[in-house]
Structure 1
């Protein structure tokens, strides 16, 4: 009997349970996938604890990112067939599908065929991070050659993806991290500059790097009181993109900075790209081309077996990783 992860109440990692569940034949527009690896994401921890943008509906499933082999296809599905190596792009609600399982259903539009050279672990680590970075930096902000982008929480999987996406278009990625402990790894991953925000004056350092103009784009998953400093480090007519709220404290709107330098403050969710067929196709092409050329390479921090999903979530919440946590099935 296939297994999947469910939870019946909000709470810590211990609420997660592996249960046996019958997985039906795929309906129209769906595929069924024998999963080999699952990528973990911060949103899944937030959904489990009731702090995500939607509330869980019990029994709740989890997971939006997986890689595996197509087991069956539903009516009307074209371009995919049993035996294909694929990955699932996060392009659906947790209310509708969950990828934490060894046999799962997914909407065919959210499935991408994999290059033969891409292993299961890497394939499960790609899509949330790179599509989020592409959608915010390229599609929304129009980041281009020579422009500076600030990347808070740069050691996260999305942060590392943003560094690589910025480099791919010739921009200047400036990685922000609380201490200098991860600075060498961030430089190895392609950061042009690293600022330890707990040890240096962020605004002064960005001014030095940019010759006093500030960063044209800020890509922030944190929010909280530190947002005002990010605004102060942004260039006139620059854009601050907020794609997360890791700091639970109130996020101030620095009105003086926003008005005085005509700043744009913009919320962003990856689903802006994945719910639009044309943007989803463009994102898939950008990521697959980048993987083929070597410009995009996910960094795997640690893997866990499926049976240790609780431990994997505990590790996710410890915030010590540099890159992606992947669960193998």
Structure 2
């Protein structure tokens, strides 16, 4: 079968190759073999290829990818019928390794059956990005403890952030979005009625953010990191929480502990991997059900994606790196 192999670290064109690898043996125990049709290109993928993230965590067998959508081809003898997993079931693979291959063997517990009305390209965006949005909103609600306080969301045009904003609005939360360029703010604001969107290239954007929020936010949800983090901490109300889930800016964050201490601020990290490891099966099913409902209510949030054949992986990575805020980038196999 085919897989995209990672050979060292460096420029994607130099280290990523479509190769033939051995076919998978029949699954044992509670494992399942899934034929992956589509998988997203995430920042963690190209950051690993470039050597910024550890290969032994994100590509332990030389194959990137931790999620996807596909069809079950074989199941192990110990798969519980209660999982609703059988040969031919269309599934989301949401906690796995090596999904940049045509087939993967994963525990049945890493799969979620898909409703017929959710197509593959949309479902691919839910596997990590959608679940990350659910997890981030839950963390934000824990931080505000039922208070009415606006949420600040960076990289607001990204797939994750748009889902966060939509889910937050459905639950009655006020949100302010931040984007890199003020020129992009209008198009995003069209998708979300009455959600202020501010470009960080605007003069005095910090003051504009506080005015738009009506008060200092209690929570900031950030995918950027780097030099944005201390700025976001400075925007928070005393006792506020910065929730970080990404590092689009790979530079270290110059955060002064004295500032964090004086204003009793909290910095909390969240990851979809942590969600998959700690969330009980009933809650996982409920979280995916909320995402399926969001797709039905707001299908436009999941449009605008780009698809590339596995053989065109270098072009796919280039597209994902150039603008992670213009919709998902998806690798497709037959």
TM-score normalised over the length of structure 1: 0.89
Secondary structure at the counterpart of residue 231 of structure 1? helix
Cα RMSD for the two superposed structures = 2.3
CA distance in 2, matches of 1:65, 1:48: 17
Q: Is residue 37 of structure 1 aligned with residue 38 of structure 2?
A: yes
Q: Which residue of 1 aligns with 2:305?
A: 301
Listed as ranges, the matches of 1:111-126 within 5 Å are 111-126=111-126
Cα distance in 2 between the residues matched to 1:268 and 1:320: 19
Equivalent in 310, 313, 327 of residue 323 of structure 1: 327
1:82 aligns with 2:83: no
Q: What CA distance in whole angstroms lies between the structure 2 residues aligned with 1:67 and 1:133? A: 18
Query: Does the Cα contact within 8 Å between 1:165 and 1:296 map onto a contact in 2?
Result: no
Counterpart contact for 1:121–1:328, Cα < 8 Å? no
In 1, distance between residues paired with 2:273 and 2:300?
A: 21
Deviation at 1:26, TM superposition (A): 1.9
Q: Which residue in 1 is equivalent to 2:100?
A: 100
Which residue number corresponds to residue 246 of structure 1? 248
What is the CA-CA distance between 1:300 and the residue it aligns to? 3.5
TM-score, normalization by structure 2: 0.88
Higher helix share: 2
Cα distance in structure 2, aligned partners of 1:281 and 1:108? 13
2:150 alignment partner, one of 133, 148, 158:
148
Alignment of 1:171-182 (within 5 A): 171-182=173-184
Q: 2:48 is matched with which residue?
A: 47
Q: Work out the CA distance in 1 between the residues paired with 2:300 and 2:266.
A: 28
Going from structure 1 to structure 2, the CA distance change for 1:53 and 1:147 (only over 3 Å counts) comes to farther
Residues 39 and 148 of structure 1: CA distance in aligned 2, closer, same or farther (over 3 Å): same
Query: Is the contact between residue 161 and residue 296 of structure 1 (CA under 8 Å) also seen in structure 2?
Result: no
TM-superposed CA distance for 1:175, in Å, is 1.4
Q: In the TM superposition, what whole-angstrom CA distance separates every residue of 1:61-84 from its partner, at most 9, and x where no partner exists?
A: 111121111111112212200111
The structural deviation recorded for 1:193 is 0.9
**2:267 & 2:55 partners in 1: Cα distance?**
22
Within 5 Å, which residues of 2 pair with 1:192-203? 192-203=195-206
- Whole-Å Cα distance in 2 between the matches of residues 181 and 141 of structure 1? 30
Q: Tell me if structure 1 keeps the 8 A contact 2:158–2:324.
A: no
Gaps of 5+ in 1: none
Give the alignment of 1:179-194 within 5 angstroms.
Answer: 179-190=181-192, 192-194=195-197
Aligned residues: 322
* C-alpha separation in 1, matches of 2:270 and 2:37: 30
Does 287-296 or 306-315 show the bigger shift?
Answer: 287-296
